[in-house]
Amino acid sequence: MTESAPLSRKRRAQAVGCLVVGLLTTYFVTTLAMRRVVQPIRLRAAASAGDVDRVRRLLDAGAHVDGRLRLPALEYDAFDDGWSVYLSDETALLYAARHGHVEAVRTLLAAGAAPHVSSREDEDPLDAAVEYRDGLGMIDLLLDAGAYPYPAVRSAAQKADRDVVERLNEAWQDEAGPGADRDKLIASAKFRPDAIGHAIARLLSSPDEPELLRVTREGSAAELRAALAAGADVRVLDWFEWSALHWAAGADEALEKVDALLAAGADAAAVTKRGLTPLMMAASNGRAGVVRRLIEKGVELDAVDDHGNTALHGAVYWSRAEVVELLLDAEAQPDLENTWGHTPRGLAHEIRAAVLGGRLHGIDVTGRFKNR
C-alpha cells in the first residue's frame, strides 16, 4: 500500500498534465483555426456588407487584413463542357470595393490592406471598383494607396466613364511618364474597336483630333459624305495611328462609310504601327459587306498585326461565321500561327466547344474548316 500510493499519485499527476496539454493544444489549435479559417470568412462578410464597426472589431481581434481563405467554388468550363471546382481567394478589400463600401475600403487600407492583391481571376480591388461601382471616391482611395491603374482601363472604357478613364490616365502619367499610357490603351483596343477601342478614343481623344475621324467614328454616313465633300483629308490619323478607314470598318453604317472613304482616295491597305488593317477591323466586327469590298480591292488577306493575328484569326475568335466564309473563299490561310501558337483552325475548334457550352454567340464556325 505504501509503495503503490506514490505511484498512483504520479499517474494522476501525469494524467492531469496530459489533460492540461490537451486542453492547451485544443485552445491553440482552435485559436489558429479561428484566425486562419473563421476570421477571414467573417472579415470578408463584414467587408461585403459594409459593416465598418464589425470590420474594425475583427481586425482588433487579430484577423489578417489580407487573409485569403481558399474556399471551394464551382465554375462552368465552356471548353470542357462541364463544371469544375476552383478555390475562391478574394480578399476583404476586393469584396468591399466590389460592393461599393468606401468606408470599409478606407478602414481596410488604414489597417495595411494591400491594394494590388489579385484574385485567382486576376481581379484586383481597383478593377472591381471600376467595373461594379460609380464615382471617383473609392478609386482615388485605391490609387493613392498604390493600386496599379492599368488593369482597370478596360472596365472604365466599356462603361464609357470619362472621369474614371481620365483619372486612370493621370495615374499612369504620374507612374510611368507622359505618353506611356497610349501604348497600353492601344493594346486594350486590339480586337474590339466597337466595344473598347471606340470608347477609349471617344473618352481620351485630343481636343485637336481631326474632325473627320470623329465624324467617321460617331457620326452618320451622310455626315461623313458632307465632310468629305467639304474637303476633309482622308489621310489624317489619330494617336492610335488609325485612319478614318480603320474606324469606318467597324462603325455603324460601315459599308456606306467605307465606300465614301475609298471613293475619296483612302488607302484600303493602311496599317497602324501595331499592324492593324481595315480588313482586321471589319472581320473582328463581323462587317461582311466591308470585308467583301476590301477583298475586291485586293488587300492582303494574311497580313498580321504585332501579335501575328490575321483577319481570319479575328473573325474566328469572335464567331463571325459569314466573314469566315468570305475569307476562306478568298483563300485566306487557316493554319497561320500567331505569337501564342494559335491558328484560325485551332481557334475554331475551341470556339465550337464554347458554343456547345452556351458561352459564346451561338455560331458554329468549325464546319467550314473540315476539308482545308
Q: Which pLDDT score, from 0 to 100, does residue 7 have? A: 55
Report whether pLDDT(206) > 80.
no
| b (16+ CB within 10 A) / e for 271-306 | bbebebbbbbbbbbbbbbebbbbbbeeebebebbbe
pLDDT band at residue 158, thresholds of 50, 70 and 90? low
Cα torsion angle, 153, 157, 163, 164, sign: negative
- In this predicted structure, the answer to whether residue 292 has a pLDDT above a threshold of 80 is yes
Q: Is-above-0.75 flag for pTM? A: no
Of 6, 1, 74, 64, the closest CA to residue 38 belongs to 64
Q: Between 234 and 90, name the one with better pLDDT.
A: 234
What residues have CB less than 8 Å from 275, skipping those under 6 apart?
303, 304, 305, 306
Cβ contact 276:283 at 8 Å: no
Per-position DSSP letters for 146-188, written without gaps between them: T--SGGGHHHHHHHT-HHHHHHHHHHHHHHH-TTHHHHHHHHH
Give residue-wise pLDDT tens across range 251-262. 889 999 999 999
Considering the chain, what percentage of its residues have pLDDT values greater than 90? Answer: 28
Among 8-17, 20-29, 102-111, 185-194, the range with the most confident prediction by mean pLDDT is: 102-111
State the pLDDT confidence band at 108, using cuts at 50, 70 and 90.
Answer: very high
CA distance 92 to 75: 21
Give Cβ neighbours of residue 30 (< 8 Å, ≥ 6 apart).
Answer: none
Neighbours of 29 (CB within 10 A): 10
Going 112 to 113 to 117 to 123, the CA torsion angle's sign is negative
Burial (CB count <10 Å: 0-12, 13-18, 19+), residue 100: middle
Helix H or strand E segment including 203: helix 198-204
Is residue 150 over pLDDT 70?
A: no
Give the mean model confidence (pLDDT) for residues 291-310.
Answer: 94
Percent of all residues in the chain with a pLDDT value above 70, rounded to a whole number? 63
Contact present, 172 and 186 (Cβ < 8 Å): no
55-64, 232-241, 260-269: the lowest-pLDDT one:
232-241
Distances (CA, A) of 132 to 12, 46, 146, 270, 359: 63, 18, 20, 38, 21
Give the HSE-up count for residue 127: Cα atoms under 13 Å, Cβ half-sphere: 15
CA distance 22 to 164: 56
Q: Which residues contact 265 (CB under 8 A, 6 or more apart)?
A: 234
What single-letter amino acid sits at 51?
Answer: D
Instruction: With cut-offs at 50, 70 and 90, classify the pLDDT of residue 68.
Output: low
Is 307 a residue whose pLDDT tops 70?
yes
Q: What is the pLDDT of residue 231?
A: 93
Quick check: 180 pLDDT over 50?
Answer: no
Give the least confident one: 135-144, 259-268, 299-308, 327-336.
135-144
